[in-house]
Each structure stands twice: as structure tokens, then as C-alpha cells.
Amino acid sequence: MNKTNSRILIVTSVSAERDAVLRGLQGADRFDVIIGGVGTAAAAASTATALVTGKYELVVCAGIGGGFADRAEIGSLVVASEIIAADLGAETAEGFLSLDELGFGSARSEVEHNAGIRLIHALQKAGQPVTSGPVLTVTTVTGTAATAAVLMERVPGASAEAMEGYGVAAACRLQGIPVMEIRAISNAVGPRNRDAWRIGDALQALEAASSLFMEVL
């Protein structure tokens, strides 16, 4: 019988992401995969609800995401070195003030580092393009080059953006459970061009990454 809190929770946003993760896991029984919804509120609420069971030792936020120029190509994977709520704060005449600068806690969440490194090594060994860097959580999908530039200046090394990581991490922090975020890149962060999104390629990369979870997590 499994000991208490020995399972791993994987939080995706939509059914296509959940299905890609499940294909990769091939029935491995230590994992539960949920659809947490789009955005931080849905992700935090879904994660918190799942964590109440006390079954989990690790949570992975996994899905597709946008890749920042020169950091993450379409079809590649980003393993978060840090999860950052990049637009959570206040706009002032002098510029953006983060939650940290406002004194209301932190917009940054640490991640489970060792498992991230094992996953990166396994992906490299499997020939999957992968990078590690900050993954930004945003409320609005970036749609202009100007906003992409602002975010890259605000967070040096920003590698990917998505909409859920910080919410998942917030639920984990309350329970003291480590968190990771993995994004398969479907589109470039910048001027909106939905026709250029390569969701199929990203879902394949997500499946490939998930097939390594049994080995490294």
C-alpha cells in the first residue's frame, strides 16, 4: 500500500494538456493528473482542493506556454527555475511595483530544484530541446512586442509565460509542498498571431517530457 503523501499531482489547464500528460505517463500509478482550469484563480482553487487529501509529496504545473525570444523555441520545453507573477503589482508614473516592493508578500515562488535538474538531464539525453529559466505567470496573454520587451526587462532571463504557475505555487506554499512548472512552447511571446501557434508540436513535447516523469520524479 502507498504511504501517505507519496503521490505526485500534475495540474494542467485544459483537457488536451491532461491527455498529453496521460499519454506520456502510460498508466504509471504514482501520478494523478487534473484539469485545473485556465488562470491563477482556477489553478489555485483546483490545486488547493486536491491537496486537502494529504496524498501528495510534489505538485507539477504542466502545460503549453509562450516562449521568449532567444530563450525558448516553439516545440521546446522550459523547466521553471522560478515561478514569477509578472504582472501582479501596481502601475505607477515611475513604473511597475511588484508585490514584493509593495510589501504584500512575494510574487516569486521557489521550485523543487533537484527534480528539475534530473528532468533537464533526462530530456537532454532523450534529445529534447530544453532550457531552464524563470516562467512568468500572467493574467493576460502577451500580444505585442512592447509588452514582451517590458516583461523581459522586468524579469531578466524570462524564458516562458503561461497563466497558472503562480496559482498552483500559492496553493502548494500553504501546504508546504514543493512545486515545479514545466511548459512546452506552443508560440512565441509577442505580437498576437493565433494561426502561428503550434499546439500539436507543444503537446507532443509535453507528452515526451511526461514519459520521463516516472524516471526522474
Ligand X SMILES: O=C(O)c1cccc(C(=O)CC[C@H]2O[C@@H](n3cnc4c(=O)[nH]cnc43)[C@H](O)[C@@H]2O)c1
Q: Give Rg (Cα) of the chain.
A: 16
Q: Is 130 helix (H, G, I), strand (E, B) or coil?
A: strand
Given the complex with ligand X, which of 37 and 178 has the nearer CB atom? 37
Whether 105 contacts 77, CB under 8 Å: no
Q: How far is the CB of 107 from ligand X (least distance, A)?
A: 16
Report if residue 16 touches ligand X, rule: CB under 6 A: yes
Among 107, 162, 170, 179, binds ligand X (CB under 6 A): 162
- C-beta neighbour count of 50 within 10 angstroms: 18
Interface stretch with ligand X, choices 87-95, 113-121, 134-142, 167-175 (CB under 6 A)? 134-142
How does DSSP classify residue 2?
A: P
Interface stretch with ligand X, choices 8-16, 91-99, 119-127, 208-216 (CB under 6 A)? 8-16
Among 36, 63, 116, 167, binds ligand X (CB under 6 A): 63
Report if residue 190 touches ligand X, rule: CB under 6 A: no
Given the complex with ligand X, which of 28 and 141 has the nearer CB atom? 141
Distance CA 180, CA 111 (A): 5
Given the complex with ligand X, which of 7 and 88 has the nearer CB atom? 88
Q: Is 162 helix (H, G, I), strand (E, B) or coil?
A: strand
The C-alpha angle 114, 207, 79, rounded to 5 degrees, equals 30
At 134, which amino acid appears?
A: P
Which residues form the interface with ligand X (CB under 6 A)?
Answer: 13-14, 16-17, 38, 63-66, 138, 141-142, 161-164, 186-187, 189, 199
